[in-house]
Amino acid sequence: MGTTLDIKAFLDKDEQKDLLRLLTAGSVDDGKSTLIGRLLFDSKKLYEDQLDALERDSKRMGNAGEHIDYALLLDGLKAEREQGITIDVAYRYFSTNNRKFIIADTPGHEQYTRNMITGGSTANLAIILVDARTGVITQTRRHTFLVSLLGIKHVVLAVNKMDLVDFSEERFNEIVSEYKKFVDPLGIPDVNCIPLSALDGDNVVEKSERTPWYKGISLLDFLETVHIDNDHNLTDFRFPVQYVLRPNLDFRGFCGKVASGVVRKGDQVMALPSGKTSRVKSIVTYDGELDYAFPPQSVTLTLEDEIDVSRGEMLVHTDNLPIVDRNFEAMLVWMDEEPMDVNKSFFIKQTTNMSRTRIDSIKYKVDVNTMEHSAVPFLSLNEIARVVLTTAKELFFDPYQKNKSCGSFILIDPITNNTSAVGMIIDRVEVKDMNTTDDIPVLDLPKLGIAPEHYESIEKAVKELERQGIAVKIIK
């Protein structure tokens, strides 16, 4: 009986652990895959058959001489193993007694920028590796810029291969000061630097005796203790509605994920775009009702009044509204093999909202290696630019730096259905600053001589157009 309870207690404790999502980035051969392999190996997270296969593969195709080649744990594609590089984003899951981790091992090459953006879009922390021999190089700068673009608040600069520079404190300090000089203007709030050797395991899981001058903690200790709870925006309540739940006459609930902020029973909320207000009657989940909900919980809200809310609309607090606009500026990462056609009308998906959009203008392209700005007529694969977009109907958004989930969007090609680009909203743009202005079409029903009995069917048709991302304003 005691054992059963112990197992239950263990499982309960395991469920309570929080989750840290991290991404590793660095230049080719900086040892990213080796470092993660080492983390898994030293924290005893490998099964025996994995270990046997690893030893066998290391002898056959490893690149680590007499050592076990830990990188083979992650570089699973045949092409990756043959070239000794990472191409795809490999996700690895492991946990320690204090925390669960999901690691995205992202490729270092410039042609795989989109893979890195994908891997980093959900990350709380980034480990950027540099080789102690070469120090901060172009790729280090590029990865740090991408990390700041994605709004990742915690960065670890892991100075790897310290064994090849005899664990020199002077060399480590040199790299750190050069990196800090570059990173300061990017505004990343939490940057930590750790000297390590992934191959030998120095400062990876345990503090190393070979770096007595290093006063900080080991990499795993840092990952276990870094404070990420404050990274969620808990002030601006945003609830994009995913689905309206109507199982019977007596229940009408709005399902969705709390994107940001906290909602409590009895709170006054407003539905956007209609502007109608009501109070939260209950917060329902599969496990019963809650008194309050916060991100990233998925819940069903019921309201005191019957108000019309459907998918793509948003519930917010009446005293804290998002920006509601059709024109905004954003940083755009182009992800399609096919170059951008500025005359094309794309679908834009932001939260649960779908609309049509077109690119009004490209302000400048950012060279990810030198941070220089240049004027370009269009974007090609992996290029990043600051653009102005205009949508067919109003979107409800916050700047990405303030609220990740309401400030991010994707552009979808209407013909191929490919994800053409991902974007991070900077702010709204005034109509007077737009290159071209196209107002929402207006149907003035009385002016057109349409009798009131037809209003309902016209509203129905307009609602269907809106669902397809085309907004039409009705005057009755």
Q: Which residues pair with 383 in a beta bridge?
A: none
The strand pair at 314-317 and 373-374 is best described as unpaired
* Residue whose structure tokens are 């001489």: 65
Whether pLDDT at 448 is above 90: no
Rounded Cα–Cα distance for residues 377 and 364 (Å): 9
Measure Cα distances from 249 to 245, 288, 306 in Å: 11, 20, 12
Sign of the Cα torsion 35, 38, 42, 45 reads: positive
Half-sphere exposure in the Cβ direction for 130 (13 Å, CA) = 28
Whether pLDDT at 434 is above 70: no
Residue 193 near residue 179, CB atoms below 8 Å: yes
29 is in an annotated binding site: yes
162 is in an annotated binding site: yes
Whether pLDDT at 284 is above 50: yes
Whether pLDDT at 390 is above 60: yes
30 is in an annotated binding site: yes
Q: Give the chain's count of helices (H) and strands (E).
A: 10, 24
Region 14-40: what's the mean pLDDT?
79
Q: Give 422-431 pLDDT, tens digit per residue.
A: 999 999 887 7
Q: Which residues pair with 298 in a beta bridge?
A: 257
Region 319-328: what's the mean pLDDT?
93
User: Could you give the percent of the chain with pLDDT greater than 70?
Assistant: 86
Nearest to 244 by CA among 310, 315, 316: 310
Nearest to 54 by CA among 77, 83, 75: 75
**What is the overall mean pLDDT for the chain?**
84
Cis status of the peptide bond prior to 296, with omega within 30 of 0: yes
Sign of the Cα torsion 39, 40, 45, 50 reads: negative
Q: Is residue 83 classed as helix, strand or coil in its secondary structure?
A: helix
Region 210-229: what's the mean pLDDT?
90
Q: Give 167-180 pLDDT, tens digit per residue.
A: 999 999 999 999 99
Nearest to 172 by CA among 113, 123, 216: 216
Whether pLDDT at 70 is above 80: no
Give all strands (DSSP E) within 335-459, no chain letters: 346-350, 353-366, 373-374, 384-397, 408-412, 419-428, 442-444
DSSP code string of 238-297: EEEEEEEE-SSTT--EEEEE--BS-EETT-EEEEETT--EEEEEEEEETTEEESEE-TT-
User: What pLDDT, on a 0 to 100 scale, did the predictor assign at position 221?
Assistant: 92
Q: What is the CA radius of gyration of the chain?
A: 26
107 is in an annotated binding site: yes
Whether pLDDT at 454 is above 90: no
Q: Which residues pair with 48 in a beta bridge?
A: none
User: What pLDDT, on a 0 to 100 scale, did the predictor assign at position 302?
Assistant: 94
What DSSP designation does 371 have? -
Rounded Cα–Cα distance for residues 260 and 246 (Å): 25
User: What pLDDT, on a 0 to 100 scale, did the predictor assign at position 37?
Assistant: 76
Whether pLDDT at 44 is above 70: no
| Domains, the chain | 9-223 (3.40.50.300), 236-315 (2.40.30.10), 321-431 (2.40.30.10), 440-472 (no CATH)
Q: Specify the amino acid at residue 158.
A: A
What band does 77 get if pLDDT is binned at 50, 70 and 90? very low
26 is in an annotated binding site: yes
33 is in an annotated binding site: yes
143 is in an annotated binding site: no
413 is in an annotated binding site: no
What band does 73 get if pLDDT is binned at 50, 70 and 90? low
Nearest to 152 by CA among 195, 102, 191: 191
Nearest to 152 by CA among 404, 337, 448: 404
What band does 474 get if pLDDT is binned at 50, 70 and 90? confident
Rounded Cα–Cα distance for residues 178 and 144 (Å): 13
What DSSP designation does 202 have? B
106 is in an annotated binding site: yes
Rounded Cα–Cα distance for residues 104 and 120 (Å): 8
Region 127-133: what's the mean pLDDT?
92
